Structure 1
Amino acid sequence: MRNPKKSDAAGNGRRRSNGSAPGESEASTDGGYNAGMAVFSYIIGGIIVWSLIGLGLDYVWGTRWIVLAGALLGAVGGFYLSHMHGLTSSRTNAGDRHAASGPSQDGNTNAK
């Protein structure tokens, strides 16, 4: 004889194989990791690109300091881009909409 509780648990295990809570999509579970990788990519990419531009200008003009200025400019520019894309803020995800906390405008809590 089959145990109905056991078969339901096995069926639920097959549907949610990623171990996340029900109703939680796979994209929302790794949002912090993706945002961190995007910030890292912007900053490192900016440093590499602007350092190479500075290296080329150093070669053309016979100087040795523009490569450092380019690296600094690339780091600042990468952080600026990640900030403008909303990746460096400490706010919650847009999908996590919660009710406003604290008392209401008129001071009543509306509790029943």
Structure 2
Amino acid sequence: MADRKRNGRTGAGKPSATGSAPGVSADNSDGGYNAGMAVFSYIIGGIIVWSLIGWGLDYLWGTRWIVLAGALLGAAGGFYLSHMHGLTSHRNTAGKSGADSGPSADGNTNAK
């Protein structure tokens, strides 16, 4: 049971869902490309959506500055969203954390 939990796999041998961001595999074997594309998509998507909202408000209210504020808000929101999904943090490329070291090399886990 503990071995399945450590490997991040279910009983059927498939990777378990860990709730990570879209496009990022559970075992972090993507080399960072998928995470980079997700960050790029969040930021560009935020800029486009909030710029269109700003453009619409500019049209309704007769102003010209809200579209720029919308673009800046969209970029900041996209970066925040990607940060909250853990895409901008440092990842261990070996797929293991420092705390998940497993048993000792000699196999004696109760050594003192």
Per the normalisation by structure 1, the TM-score is 0.59
1:59 aligned partner: 59
Find the aligned partners of 1:99 and 1:29 in 2 and give their Cα distance.
Answer: 19
Q: How big is the shift at 1:28? A: 3.9
1:89 aligned partner: 89
Higher-Rg structure is 1
- SS at the partner of 2:92? coil
Aligned residues: 75
2:71 aligned partner: 71
Alpha-carbon deviations, 1:30-63, whole Å to 9, x = none?
2400100000000000000000000000000000
Aligned AA (2:96) = D
Find the aligned partners of 2:59 and 2:93 in 1 and give their Cα distance.
Answer: 46
Unaligned runs of 5+ in 1: 1-24, 101-112
Higher RCO (C-alpha 8 Å, min separation 6): 2
Which one has a larger percent helix, Structure 1 or Structure 2?
Answer: 1
Aligned AA (1:74) = G
Change (3 A) 1:94 1:81: farther
Following superposition of structure 1 onto structure 2, how do residues 8-87 of structure 1 map, counting pairs within 5 Å? Answer: 28-87=28-87
Find the aligned partners of 2:37 and 2:31 in 1 and give their Cα distance.
Answer: 10
Per the normalisation by structure 2, the TM-score is 0.59
Q: How big is the shift at 1:93? A: 5.5
- SS at the partner of 2:63? coil
Q: CA RMSD in A?
A: 2.4
* Identical columns (%): 83
